[in-house]
Chain A
Amino acid sequence: GIQVEQSPPDLILQEGANSTLRCNFSDSVNNLQWFHQNPWGQLINLFYIPSGTKQNGRLSATTVATERYSLLYISSSQTTDSGVYFCAVTGGGNKLTFGTGTQLKVEL
């Protein structure tokens, strides 16, 4: 099956800093989603982005499908951005394969 690798595994930022999270996948995909898991465990959809670039406020994402990676950008980070960021993909059908996540902590 498809392998998904995320980096870095852990990240600590000062409030206001920018960051880039990376997701590499081992095969072509027809679905790629970024999620944020908050400290209470809720997984929140950030982007559905099998290719191209999208922006939503301080967050943006780019997927280069031909090179099998996706990037999530967080600008002007806030403490509420803390949590775990997951990338998940499918190569076909509806079964998502998740990466192991990036644990982000934003400090004052």
Chain B
Amino acid sequence: DVKVTQSSRYLVKRTGEKVFLECVQDMDHENMFWYRQDPGLGLRLIYFSYDVKMKEKGDIPEGYSVSREKKERFSLILESASTNQTSMYLCASTRGYEQYFGPGTRLTVT
């Protein structure tokens, strides 16, 4: 069975904090993705990675960075959290074309 896990379901952070969101997949997938989902805006791609230590910007990378030191783990980093980064964050992975999603992390920045 396909399995993508995310480190937290709910997270509350203060403005200015450094935030790490972790995503792990156990399917030996090459490609991993981070999206955010906001009401009325749908899912928007932040960053993706097609191999270890490789990363590419998605549509809305500003304010975020990523790290992929191991194939199974893809981390999203908010260097200095701001209230406009309050959102649902979804991680996904894929080998071919089919994307599989984790359960999501609902982040609130106060």
Contacts and interface: CB of A to CB of B under 8 A. Distances in A.
B61 interface: no
Q: Interface residue tally of chain A, by bracket? A: 20 to 34
Interface string B28-45: 000101000100101101
Interface in A51-108: 86, 88, 90, 94-96, 98-101
A14 interface: no
B104 A42 contact: yes
The main secondary structure of chain B at its interface with chain A is strand
13 contacts: A35-B101, A42-B103, A42-B104, A43-B90, A43-B101, A45-B99, A48-B97, A94-B31, A94-B94, A95-B45, A95-B48, A95-B58, A101-B42
Interface of A: 30-31, 33, 35, 40-45, 48, 50, 86, 88, 90, 94-96, 98-101
